[in-house]
Structure 1
Amino acid sequence: MSTNMAVEKLYESDNYLVVNKPFDMYINSDDEYEKNTVTYHIASPDSHLSSSLCPLHFVQRLDYATSGVLCIAKNKSSAARAGQLFEKRLTRKYYLAVVREHVTFEVADIEFDVGIDQSTADSSHRMSALTTSEPTDKCLHPRRAHTRALRLERGYYDNCPVSVMLLKPITGRRHQLRVHCNAIGHTILGDYTYSGCRDNMPHRMFLHATRLVLPLEQEPLDIQTAEPFFSDARFSAAWRPEQAYYKYRTQDDFNAVCEILDKSYVIGVQYKMFKM
Structure 2
Amino acid sequence: MEPGSMENLSILYQSRDFLVVNKHWDVRIDSKTWRETLTLQKQLRHHFPELADPDTYYGFRFCHQLDFSTSGALCVALNKAAAGSAYKCFKERRVTKAYLALVRGHIQESRMTISYAIGRNNTEGRAHTMCIEGTQGCENPKPSLTELVVLEHGLYAGDPVSKVLLQPLTGRTHQLRVHCSALNHPIVGDLTYGQASGREEQPFRMMLHAFYLRIPTQTECVEARTPDPFVPTLDACWSPHTLVQPLDQLVQVLQAAHDPKPTEGDTGPCSPSSCLPGPGRPPPHPATPPETEAQRASCLQWLSEWTLEPDN
1:77 partner letter: A
Aligned to 1:202: 203
Distance 1:154 1:168, change over 3 A: same
Q: Could you say if the C-alpha distance between residues 59 and 120 of structure 1 is closer, same or farther in structure 2, counting changes exceeding 3 Å?
A: farther
* Distance in structure 2 (CA, Å) of the matches to 1:124 and 1:48: 34
Match of 2:37 in 1: 35
Moved over 6 A (4+): none
Residue in structure 1 matching 2:83, options 70, 79, 86: 79
> Which residue of the partner structure matches residue 264 of structure 2?
none
* TM-score between the two structures when normalised by the length of structure 2: 0.75
Secondary structure, counterpart of 2:165 in structure 1: strand
CA distance in 1 between partners of 2:28 and 2:183 (Å): 28
Q: Distance in 1 between matches of 2:93 and 2:228?
A: 25
**Structure 2 CA distance for aligned equivalents of residues 24 and 146 of structure 1:** 26
Alignment partner of 2:70 out of 66, 91, 97: 66
Larger % of strand: which? 1
Alpha-carbon offset, residue 76 of structure 1: 1.7
Contact 2:230 2:238 in 1 (8 A): no
1:222-241 Cα shifts (integer Å, max 9, x gaps) = 100111121663x2x11222
Give the corresponding residue for 1:110: 114
How far apart are residue 124 of structure 1 and its match?
A: 4.0
Q: Which secondary structure state, in structure 2, belongs to the residue aligned with residue 36 of structure 1?
A: coil
Deviation of 1:31 after TM superposition, in Å, equals 2.3
Q: Deviations over 1:117-153 (max 9, x none)?
A: 12258x742111125xx24xx2112111110000111
Query: Tell me, which stretches of 5 or more residues in structure 2 are unaligned?
Result: 258-272, 283-312
Alpha-carbon distance change, 70 to 189 in structure 1, aligned in 2, over 3 angstroms: same
Q: Find the partner of 1:255 among 251, 264, 273.
A: 251
Q: Aligned AA for 2:228?
A: E
Give the number of aligned pairs. 257
C-alpha displacement of 1:33? 5.3
Letter matched to residue 243 of structure 2: A
Measure, in 1, the Cα distance between the counterparts of 2:45 and 2:250. Answer: 31
| Structure 1 residues 79 and 161, CA gap change in structure 2 (3 angstroms) | same
Q: Residues 3 and 24 of structure 2 are in contact (CA less than 8 Å); yes or no, is this contact kept in structure 1?
A: no
Q: Percent identity?
A: 34
Gaps of 5+ in 1: none
Label 1:27 to 1:149 Cα distance change in 2 as closer, same or farther (>3 A): same
CA contact (8 A) 1:7 1:20 kept: yes
Q: In structure 2, what is the equivalent of residue 155 of structure 1?
A: 154
Q: Does the CA-based 8 Å contact 1:97-1:165 persist in structure 2?
A: yes
Write the distance in 2 (CA, Å) between the matches of 1:40 and 1:96: 26
TM superposition shift of 1:262? 4.4
Q: Which residue of 2 aligns with 1:127?
A: 130
**Equivalent AA in structure 2 for residue 192 of structure 1:** L
Give, in angstroms, the shift of residue 51 of structure 1.
Answer: 4.6
- Partners of 1:60 and 1:29 in 2: how far apart? 15
- Over aligned residues, Cα RMSD in angstroms? 2.7
Matching residue of 1:181: 180
Give the Å deviation of 1:196: 5.4
| TM-score (ref. length: structure 1) | 0.84
